[in-house]
Every structure is written in C-alpha cells, then in structure tokens.
Structure 1
Amino acid sequence: MDRLATLDLFIRIVDRGSFSAAAAACGVSRPVATAAIKALESRLGVRLLQRSTRHVRPTEEGIAYYRRCIAILADLEDADRNAGGTVSGVLRVDMVGYLARTVLLPALPNFLARHPALTVHLGEGERFVDLIREGVDCVVRAGALADSGMVARPVGVMQEVTVASPDYLARHGMPATPEDLEGHQMIGFVSSRTGQPLPLEFTRGDEVIEVMLPTRLLVSGAETSAAAARQGLGLVQAPRYRFIDDLANGTLIEVLADFPPTPTPLSVLYPGSRQLSPRVRVFVDWLVEFIGPRLHPGK
C-alpha cells in the first residue's frame, strides 16, 4: 500500500476499532492491512495501536498521529478541489427514510449535477448513529437535538400540520378550536427517548397548547402513523410536506389550521473532532441553500 492509502487505513482502524472492518472499507484483506500498519509503525519507530482479542485502540502517539492524518487528508482534498475545481469520492449520509424520499431525493439531481465526481451513499434510519465508528460523514435529523458532541448546522424549519381522514371527521366532527377536541382520538406516536406517546401540540399566538387524546393505536414509525391517519384511526401531526399529495387529493384534511403545531427544525450534524472535508462542506452548504427554502410548501 502507498503512504496515502496507509494513512487512510490507519484512520479507519482508529475510527472503527477493528482491523477487519477497516480492511473491508479500504478493499484490502486483513493480512494486507496488518502488514501495512506494522510497516508504518516500524518506519515511525513508535507503536500506534494497542491490540487485544476484542479491541484495537490508539496509543497516545497513535492519537496524535491520527489527528495529523485527518488534517493531512482533509488538506489534500482541499488542494485537489482548488486545483481541479471538483469534489470527488463517496459521501456517506444518514437520514430518516421519509425525509430522504420526500425532501432529499427530488432535489438530489441538482446536487449530483454540481458535483459529477461525487457519489452519495444514502442510509436510512432514525436510530443514533456513531458517525466515526460507522464511517458516516454526516446525518440529517429533525426536531430538538440531544447534546451529542457533534456540530449541528441548521438547515431550515419545517411547517407542521394536523390532519385526519374525511371518514374520521365524518364520525367525530371538525373541531374549530383545541378546546373542541373532547371526544376525539389521536394516533399515538411513541417517543424514542421516553417510550411514551407524544401529545398533540397547537399554538395560539405565543401560547403553546399540548393536548393528550385517547389513542387505540400506538406507533413508532412516521410512515405507519401517516398510513393509520389515512385509515381513519385518528388525528396525526407531521411536517406539511409529507401530506402535500394527501391534502391535494382529499385523502386527508387539515384540522385546526388556525392553531398550527410549532415548526420543527431540520439540522445536519457532523463530527466536531474532525476537520470538515470538502465533500461534507459542499453537501452541508447545498442543504442550507437548496433544501432549506423547500421546507415551506404553501397551503
């Protein structure tokens, strides 16, 4: 392996804590990876990694070398970009599936056209992602963010809406104010943090009103809650863009439009411990420029 490839391998070993995972990511065998790191340590005259049967951890010298390697490779990417005007490689992004399908994918041809040498690896999930260990460059998340030690850059704010099916409203009536919700029911969306259903939320001026209604269905997936609403199982709240087609064709009807839920922020997160690579930088800048304004579809 050449020196740059060895640096990349070393970074991946530290990130993932595994020779095997790093070797697979670099497209080499485990013996080749082991030999390359041994040769690197021999050339430097220091031990960079502590190996055990279960874990691989950097030594103090290894941590210092790792940080320099990160900076070197990021500088090299910047140099290549400035010289050739292009960003290349694989950008690994993770985001919730419905966000990927309804917000990102329709706009992605624009991004790919801007950066023809860049490939996007799009993962879908709502769980916590260990970006460094899993080799993910950045994640896009909606809602309030827990303190994760990552850098969070706001992308935009998503307008929220309350909806129900025509059949549901025929049975329960159309409320005029939040106080008219007695006798109604909601589809209980279970919080991944608390394990409890989230209340419905309405605004009246600066006042935020939380309403917990009876529910006969608890769900933990956004697509399932939307499908349940279409089946007439209760009221549901979600970003307006998710229901543009439903609202247009009458599958769902907006409820309490004068008392909308508070908007939901959308953010992109990336490790603060690393120098931001050009491919992540151009993606983050594009999200803010191109996706942010698209989060406010009209009524």
Structure 2
Amino acid sequence: MDHHLLAIRVFNRVVETGGFTRAADSLRMPKATVTKLIQNLEDHLQTKLFQRTTRSVSVTPEGECYYRRTVKWLADLEQMEGCMTESQSAPQGVLRIDVGGGTAKHVLLPALREFLERYPQIQIDLGVGDRNIDLINDSADCVIRSGPLADSTLIARRLFDLEWVTCASPDYLARYGTPKHPAELEQGYPLTHYRHAVNDRVLPLRFVDRGKTMELLYRYQVSVNEGNALLASALAGLGIIQTLRFMAEPHLQSGELVSVLSDWQPPGENMFLVYPSNRHLSAKLRVFIEWAVERFNS
C-alpha cells in the first residue's frame, strides 16, 4: 500500500509540474524511479495515464479524471494524518520559504528568531532572490511577494502595505541638484534602474501626476536586478533610484539618503504570503502563516 500511495503522489506531481524530469527534481528522486512508479501505476490500473513523446508529456483523458479524484483524496488523507500527528507532537520539519532579498534582510530575518523560539522543532530553508519562483516546480511551501496575484490557484494572505520612495545620496544631489518635477530627470540626472530578474527588462520609474501614472525610462548609467544592490547604488552616489520605503528608511533616517519628488510617488502595493490552494496545510506551514499574519499585519 505504501508503494502504491507513493506512485499516486508521484503521478500527481507529474501532472502538476508537466513533466517527469521536473517532477523528479521537485521530489528529489531519480527520474528513473519516477518513470518506474508511473509504469507500475498504469499496469495496476490497466490504463494509460500519459501520452509521452521525446519532447512532451500530456495527460490522457483517463489520467485527468484520475488526477481530479486522487488530488482530493490525497488532500483528505494528509489532513487526517496531519490532525493525528499534530495531536501527538509540536509542529516540526523543514519549511521552505522563498522571499525577495530586501524583504529577507529588512523584514523577515530580523523577526524570525521569535518564530523559531516559539517552534524550535521547525527548520527553515530560506530561498532569497528577486526571481518569482513556481511553488510546485521549486518545491517551496510558501513565498512572500508583493504585487497582484496572477495565479488563481494560489492563496494570498496580506502581510503589510508597501510604500515607494524616490531617493538619492546627499553627495549626488550636491553634484547634480535636486529635481523639482519628474520631467527634469531627462535633463542630465544619472539614474539607476531596476532590471527584472527573470526577463531582464529594465523597469521605468513610476510617478503620478494629477491622477495619471507616468512611466519614465530615460537613459541610465547603471541597472541592477536585485533590490539590495539597487539600494547600494544609491548609497554610492551612482544615481537616483526608486525603491521600497522599508528598505530605504534606515538610510533616510540617518541622512545617507534623501527623498526627492515625494509629491509624485506612485501608489503603494501589498506584501502577501502566498501558498498553493490545493495543498493541505501542514502544521509547520499553518503555524508560520498564523505567526506571519500576526507579526506583520498589524
């Protein structure tokens, strides 16, 4: 029964990831093992679950029907087992969280000791970077990210509001002057832009003028694809940047950075904790969600 249950779990992961190799990587098992388990499952059911070619894997109609039934059954089984486990022990195990570099440095890591002291049997594997990951393919339990939620199969819990700030170093402003209007940035102000970590697209500076959003992408001398590096470039006097206020706030308070063009700042966003809707909440993930909402959504 354990072998058959493993085969069903592997089958579901192949469906969710869209391939045998990706499923094997996310489950951390050899691809040959995944292939053998699927073959055994198909032999047991006497049904072809996948159409396989050298280039692609697609679910058969029978496989799609089997997935819809087994995904709910597995969720119910995990919930039942989770309830039994939770009644006997404290939350434990490895919790995989993915978060942007700035949020990790300025928000999550300074507060994380409080969580670990409350739940000492939980081990955190923290993935840090500005690349938006796939929760299934990258085997993360949850991510902390800003902006709108594009995938309707995910659940997002709001943590806190974000505010943007445009800023530069005092040395930079002494050399180039302080702009009074966003349009002046075209007139010889060196800029540092953020470059998207996935598609390499350089993002414009955003401002709001009389209710209308302005997106300005003037010539820049530097672009970076990571939030902490963007902040470091401003501290080094390389250019005006636009960043999240919680990252810049300590440097604004100390005078290392100066806010400019504050009357034209774009509207803020929300920071969310995101996790799959079709995955049973393990005890470790559930308590982390509860702690994060309690700690940051106040």
For Structure 1 versus Structure 2, the TM-score category normalised by the shorter chain is 0.7 to 0.9
Mapped contact 2:235–2:257 kept (Cα < 8 A): yes
Counterpart in the other structure of 2:154: 151
Query: 1:142 Cα deviation (Å)?
Result: 1.9
User: CA 1:7–1:249 in 2, change beyond 3 Å: closer, same or farther?
Assistant: same
User: CA 1:257–1:54 in 2, change beyond 3 Å: closer, same or farther?
Assistant: closer
Mapped contact 2:142–2:275 kept (Cα < 8 A): yes
Query: Partners in 1 of 2:183 and 2:204 — Cα distance?
Result: 19
Structure 2 gaps of 5+ residues are none
Query: 1:163 Cα deviation (Å)?
Result: 1.8
**Aligned counterpart in structure 2 of residue 103 of structure 1, from 95, 103, 107:** 107
Query: Partners in 2 of 1:79 and 1:88 — Cα distance?
Result: 17
Query: Partners in 1 of 2:77 and 2:174 — Cα distance?
Result: 63
Specify the SS of the correspondent of 1:201: strand
Counterpart of 2:152, as a letter, is G
Query: Partners in 2 of 1:125 and 1:201 — Cα distance?
Result: 26
The alignment status of 1:122 with 2:122, answered yes or no, reads: no
**Aligned counterpart in structure 1 of residue 139 of structure 2, from 125, 131, 135:** 135
Mapped contact 2:222–2:238 kept (Cα < 8 A): no
User: CA 1:166–1:213 in 2, change beyond 3 Å: closer, same or farther?
Assistant: farther
The alignment status of 1:244 with 2:249, answered yes or no, reads: yes
| Residues 134-283 of structure 1 aligned to structure 2 (within 5 Å) | 134-145=138-149, 147-153=150-156, 154-174=158-178, 178=181, 181=184, 185=189, 187-190=191-194, 192=196, 195-201=201-207, 207=211, 210=214, 212=216, 214-221=218-225, 222-256=227-261, 260-272=265-277, 274-278=278-282, 279-283=284-288
Mapped contact 2:204–2:215 kept (Cα < 8 A): no
Query: Partners in 2 of 1:135 and 1:28 — Cα distance?
Result: 13
Counterpart of 1:245, as a letter, is P
The alignment status of 1:290 with 2:291, answered yes or no, reads: no
Query: Partners in 2 of 1:101 and 1:233 — Cα distance?
Result: 22
Query: 1:200 Cα deviation (Å)?
Result: 4.2
Deviations 1:252-282 (A, max 9, x none): 123355665422321233445x245335444
Specify the SS of the correspondent of 2:136: helix
Deviations 1:46-69 (A, max 9, x none): 222333323333322222322333
Specify the SS of the correspondent of 1:2: helix
Taking only the aligned residue pairs, the percentage that are identical comes to 33
**Aligned counterpart in structure 2 of residue 112 of structure 1, from 109, 113, 116:** 116
Structure 1 gaps of 5+ residues are 294-299
Specify the SS of the correspondent of 1:287: helix
Query: Partners in 2 of 1:186 and 1:202 — Cα distance?
Result: 21
Query: 1:243 Cα deviation (Å)?
Result: 1.9
Query: Partners in 1 of 2:58 and 2:263 — Cα distance?
Result: 56
User: CA 1:219–1:4 in 2, change beyond 3 Å: closer, same or farther?
Assistant: same
Deviations 1:24-71 (A, max 9, x none): 554544444333333323333322233332333332222232233333
Root-mean-square deviation (Å) = 3.5
Counterpart in the other structure of 1:92: 96
Query: Partners in 2 of 1:260 and 1:129 — Cα distance?
Result: 28
User: CA 1:69–1:125 in 2, change beyond 3 Å: closer, same or farther?
Assistant: farther
Specify the SS of the correspondent of 1:121: strand
Specify the SS of the correspondent of 2:125: strand
Counterpart in the other structure of 2:46: 45
Query: Partners in 1 of 2:220 and 2:38 — Cα distance?
Result: 58
The alignment status of 1:73 with 2:74, answered yes or no, reads: yes
